Structure 1
């Protein structure tokens, strides 16, 4: 397996999360590579450019919950990134117009007041944290240190006014500078052609962009931007990976899939650790129904990637506490289809997409996205569907509390009795769930038992006041716990704390009522 295929597939999900057409990131990767060739970079440097361009915005969905809290629709917010110059008054005004959108006027006023009092500082921290999380993903994918450093500096600007604002000029790694120039000129070129891309590069040269790199683009824009619309973008990007490209063993591929799954699950506090848990369930269930080792491995991998399509649906929907409207339900029903579309271009990943796209189908034809009936739903998809349903039930959702294991088991059995889920798959999943022993690691990074409780609630999106109410402590004590947790685990954002909780086996909490 080539790592490039997995990262390129992930980039398609990032496109959806930014409200951009799929292959936006792939095209920016080609632009960055063309620029790197024109300035004479060697293979190792071009490898860093390649993966930096593909990963540059991968951390931006990690706090989509907070983005939706402040601005109503996280995808609508991010789609405005390319309309205005960074840190300009126009960009700030555009974001402020979205404060509390989709809610009644009184709610919008209240959110606006909260944002004025401290929310804007939270957003600044979030943006700086995106690059840090992307760098952490690069580390987990075993990419070279220069890639990790470049991705970590992806939002720095030539003039020093980027995020976190610690680097400027030539201090910013050249892959970061190339990726940023390529990202914004790709959008300008797609919307307005070569002239628009050149105008943007010239206008922002010396500010956001490296003036030398902008000049290279403007000297011969056709050499950098020509043929993008006619190219078979996926094949072009996979074929353009520098000679030092990264190859994965079977075990490394599984680790890379797990890393991607964790990052996808960061999109909402209600899905933290979901893919890991579903993969564990299908592993145990598959051994009971006679699947071969290869089939079990494929099902395990499909379970890890089955939620990729969630990146294309706004958190205004995923985190909505009330009932969904018709249009919102239709967006949810697209999620498995989007997963398939993200994975289908890779010969290695397409079989996983073929399983994942069916995990919400039901034997009686009542499922989605295609309304398949029993003969068309594969045995592996039936197991994945039952495991996903069970795991979703025992996780909290914005409109309900988590069910106990016993309640979830009863619900799952009812689905099988009603002819919607496969009875054998349900039995295997429930047996697997009943024999699971939840591992409760006490005190990672020196956390106390109470701090672990606070971290779990924090990861689920609870505010300090809500944590205080749940644990019967004062809001000040809750805030102190959060500060101590951040200090002990070495992070500064909720998203990074969520990742720590997942990686250390702290989610979901132990359910003593497992059945």
Structure 2
């Protein structure tokens, strides 16, 4: 098969858009990573490094934290609001007592005083191991996601040093000095310096870099920044950094249609991995929406647009804490206000890429309803086109099929009944709902969230046993060994052995890589996970 022709989209544009989603999860305003990238690129130019190293520096600065959202579930379980924790992280020299103080300050914030003190005490006793495991998992996830968006094969190793320090007191490997790739040493300084430049000014940024010289930061880079800070930061905070960011991008980075689809699908996985409750969601919505568009006899170009919008409609989820997404109790009014902004954030992120403006408009309206009861804008009937109505119905159906912290998954018949009820109430479009249900019934990809129904008929890949498939499904749901043991009525040691065997057979090393393996091989069946968990 011949490769599909090039598009007008560039890889740099898509990854710059992805960096906007990363910003949200870091607790920073959009364009933070873009400005950090411009600052890092200027430093690289001052150093006179070669073109290939400059290109790697570009992407290291842009996507240094691409893996951070994949561990949001675990981070929130430890420290509550994952986004607030990351925002606070920028304000300290993150090691030793300052780091421990931050973690204890964030531990158990939702608990009464006595229970919180007990949890803080337990955490303090195991903090080293817990944080090391979390960071190791983060680094592995960053590498996998970097591969999926088509970066240089050497980028995963560079991104794996995000938490290392010049003085060797970082994690997970305790590397020091020039053992840390130059590209990451530049990215570390530029990332933190941008926050101080923006929030406290040039003098404060210089003082911070000087204070962390030789500890967190490379002394040579720190000296360069302090000596030339005014020039390096010139115009950085004025105006839109998007043009400068794209001007600094590698020149030959246009994408074929096939490559564009691959990057968008990876971006959808990136958004879904923020919570194990949404793993595979975007793949499934994309398949449902495309199938429904074909049912409606829409032109092939519109089918492609709906599939692409389905992949990336949830990018704005990065701007909402897992303390809300994973909450088991009823949401407060403030929680709901924050949650209802995420489709707007998706649209704003995607709208920066000229070739994705239509995709952005579809994604931003997937929670709108015909009677004006949806969000974020409360659009109604005449303001919603056929594509937006289809995507809204596809997302509503798939969401019903998936469990959430506060409710079990619905059976397909129940989910279909909910859609028909929404039609009768004037919330969803009848043609769109019928097309989603008709298309989904013949679309194996939609049923299994991006997998293939016949995968199991041919035998599970990697030689996984039936019991290991059950454990894998629960692992993808975010369960630890103790939870898996309870769900399957087995000993925790047995559960641990199963997890280790799964990792060995699949090449996975954490929940995220196991989830991606399950999705890629058609093994992520929520019905299997739900029944094993007793839902």
- 1:67 Cα deviation (Å)? 1.2
Pick from 499, 503, 513 the counterpart of residue 496 of structure 1: 513
Match of 1:262 among 264, 269, 285: 269
Q: How far is the alpha carbon of 1:492 from its aligned partner?
A: 3.2
Distance 2:173 2:94 in 1: 13
1:117 to partner: Cα distance: 5.4
2:411 aligned with 1:404: yes
* Backbone CA RMSD of aligned residues: 1.9
How far apart are residue 444 of structure 1 and its match? 2.5
C-alpha separation in 1, matches of 2:266 and 2:308: 12
Which of 71, 76, 82 is the equivalent residue of 1:74?
82
Q: TM-score by structure 2 length?
A: 0.92
- How far the C-alpha of 1:166 sits from its partner, in A, is 5.0
| Aligned partners of 1:155 and 1:163 also within 8 Å | yes
Q: Distance in 1 between matches of 2:310 and 2:437?
A: 17
How far 1:261 moved relative to its partner? 0.9
Is 338-347 or 353-362 further displaced after alignment? 338-347
Matches within 5 A, 1:19-58: 19-58=27-66
Does 2:103 match 1:103?
Answer: no
SS in 2 for 1:287: helix
Work out the CA distance in 2 between the residues paired with 1:158 and 1:491: 29
Residue 218 of structure 1, CA deviation:
1.5
The offset of 1:18, in angstroms, is: 1.2
1:446 alignment counterpart: 463
104 and 497 in structure 1: CA distance in 2 versus 1, 3 angstrom threshold:
farther
Q: Which residue of the partner structure matches residue 101 of structure 2?
A: 93
Asked if 1 retains the 8 angstrom alpha-carbon contact of 2:372 and 2:378, the reply is yes
SS in structure 1 at match of 2:277:
coil
Q: Secondary structure at the match of 1:127?
A: helix
Equivalent-residue separation in structure 2 for 1:462 and 1:370 (angstroms):
36
Q: Is the 8 A contact 1:70 1:111 kept in 2?
A: no
For residues 343 and 419 of structure 2, the distance between their equivalents in structure 1, rounded to whole angstroms, comes to 20
Match of 2:522 in 1: 505
Deviation at 1:107, TM superposition (A): 4.8
Deviation, 1:489, is 2.6
TM-superposition CA deviations, 1:71-120 (whole Å, max 9, x none): 11111111111111121312211111111212334553454355345465
For residues 201-254 of structure 1, give each alpha carbon's deviation from its aligned partner in whole angstroms, at most 9, with x where no partner exists.
2111111111111111112111211111224211110111133x4221110000
Note closer, same or farther for the CA distance 1:487–1:116 as it changes in structure 2 (3 Å cut). Answer: farther
2-structure distance, mates of 1:305, 1:104: 39
Task: Decide whether the 8 Å contact of 2:140 with 2:509 is kept in 1.
Answer: no
Aligned twin of 1:487: 504
Distance 1:485 1:135, change over 3 A: same
Task: Find 1:286's aligned residue among 266, 269, 293.
Answer: 293
- Please give the secondary structure, in 2, of the residue aligned with 1:270: helix
Q: Could you tell me how far 1:337 is from its partner in structure 2? A: 0.7
Counterpart in the other structure of 1:249: 256
Asked if 1:173 is matched to 2:190, the reply is: no
Secondary structure at the residue paired with 1:220?
Answer: helix
* Aligned residue-pair number: 512
Structure 2: where are the runs of 5+ without partners? 1-8, 531-535
* SS of match in other structure, 2:33: helix
Q: Distance in 2 between matches of 1:421 and 1:317?
A: 26
Please tell me whether the aligned partners of residues 64 and 315 of structure 1 are also in contact (alpha carbons under 8 angstroms). yes
**Cα distance change, pair 107–445 in 1 and its aligned pair in 2 (3 A):** farther
Contact 1:57 1:131 in 2 (8 A): no
Q: Which deviates more from structure 2 when the two are superposed, residues 459-468 or residues 446-455?
A: 459-468
Closer, same or farther in 2 for the Cα pair 1:298/1:212, shift >3 Å?
same
Q: Distance in 1 between matches of 2:151 and 2:349?
A: 22
- How far is 1:395 from its partner? 0.6
Among 344, 348, 354, the alignment partner of 2:355 is: 348
Return 5+ residue gaps in structure 1 as ranges.
none
Deviation at 1:50, TM superposition (A): 0.5
